Amino acid sequence: MLYVYNLLVITAGFLLKIVAFFSPKIKLFVDGRKTVFRALAHRIKPSDKTIWFHAASLGEYEQGLPVMEKMKKKFPDHKIILTFFSPSGYEVRKNAAIADVVVYLPLDTHSNAKQFLKLAHPEMAFFIKYEYWPNYLNELKKSGIPTYLISGIFRKTQSFFKWYGGFYRNALKAFNYFFVQNESSKLLLQKIGYQNVKISGDTRFDRVSGILKRDNTLNFIAKFKGSKPVIVVGSSWPKDELLLSTYINSATSAVKFIIAPHNIKPEQLHELNKSIRKKVVFFSEMKNKNLADFDVFVIDTVGILTKIYAYADIAYVGGGFGNPGIHNILEPAAFGIPIVIGPNYSHFAEAEALVHMGGCTSINTQKELNEAFDLLLQNEDVRYEKGHICSTFVQMNQNATAIIINHICPEND
């Protein structure tokens, strides 16, 4: 089975090089991996002590950040190596201050895994939430490197729990410990023979709670908002924007909108702008403009959405009309903001919980979106109550990071 897997990975790597000629994102994926070993050889000395964290993309990076920060404090003499699988994670966080080296993870071939671990020589390895690369895991196990899964989540539909999943089940033997988000994940692992499991919860709650302690001031957002309520739309996709633009066009001047699209390609921003009949200002064009005069503020940059949520009265989080589903709802929840999302959230435990508790409203149609926004705008008590549910939910689910760190590095060691 390993032979077949390696053949598939090598074939995929060859095909990706061809697709890269036609896809800018795949080109980043391919080109970014060409310099990984050179970067490691240049920045990691044989005498360096290192700890390796792997994140699939940006969301997993944010999830692992609280653990990275704690490990950095515990082991200040160690270098942090951070790898990404996806360009959407690497391109945004390639200069992350927490890490000494940020690179793409080379494709999971036997030779890549051996060379990566030879150059990185980590004393510990952390995989965040998911991504189980058999060759890397096998090499970690052979090398005796303690390996941990943090904020893991397992579902019975995964290959590990199927009759044909022996190859993948065996790869899990590399993990010294699994820190999982919920009871169902723990039970699934125990059913296939893994008892080294602890329910720690989701480290994202620690991450977003920490956001409240920093300075979230954005003077230009304050000038745009003035004294009016603001609906902040985070990580929207065209299907979200179709409903949102219809609502915006019919809304009164008593409410303002901030839209931070998931994709800030010029052609998509042009379509968004064309669909809105209110006065629109773009972040990239706001200089020398009186922001208070505009109804809609489009954020055509990355990295400031979290701070913008601090100014929101209502949040709409996009992605719920697509696959795999909604984006991060915990950031607006931490600020105590009622949230509206699309219908596709079944794989997101935090969204399921907040919908059930009433802090988050899921909509399917234009009518439902209109009703949800109108209720929250017109009834301050409902808005406050739903926001309070969200902030309490975040506060009650903190401390996953402490559980993980205390297990790996007991205070009496």
Active site annotation includes 241: no
User: What string of H, E and C letters represents the secondary structure of the chain?
Assistant: CHHHHHHHHHHHHHHHHHHCCCCHHHHHHHHHCCCHHHHHHHHCCCCCCEEEEEECCHHHHHHHHHHHHHHHHHCCCCEEEEEECCHHHHHHHCCCCCCCEEEECCCCCHHHHHHHHHHHCEEEEEEECCCCCHHHHHHHHHHCCCEEEEEECCCCCCHHHCCCCHHHHHHHHHCCEEEECCHHHHHHHHHCCCCCEEECCCCHHHHHHHHCCCCCCCHHHHHHHCCCCEEEEEEECHHHHHHHHHHHHHCCCCCEEEEEECCCCHHHHHHHHHHCCCCEEEHHHCCCCCHHHCCEEECCCCCCHHHHHCCCCEEEECCCCCCCCCCCCHHHHHCCCCEEECCCCCCCHHHHHHHHHCCEEECCCHHHHHHHHHHHHHCHHHHHHHHHHHHHHHHHCCCHHHHHHHHHCCCCC
Catalytic: which of 60, 62, 331, 350?
A: 60
Which amino acid appears at position 375 of this protein?
L
Spatial CA neighbour of 208 closest among 396, 394, 340: 394
- Helix pair angle (380-396, 366-378), 10° resolution: 100
Do 60 and 89 meet the contact criterion of CB atoms below 8 Å apart?
yes
Q: State the chain's maximal CA–CA distance in angstroms.
A: 64
> How many Cβ atoms from other residues are within 10 Å of residue 298's Cβ?
24
- Catalytic center residues: 60
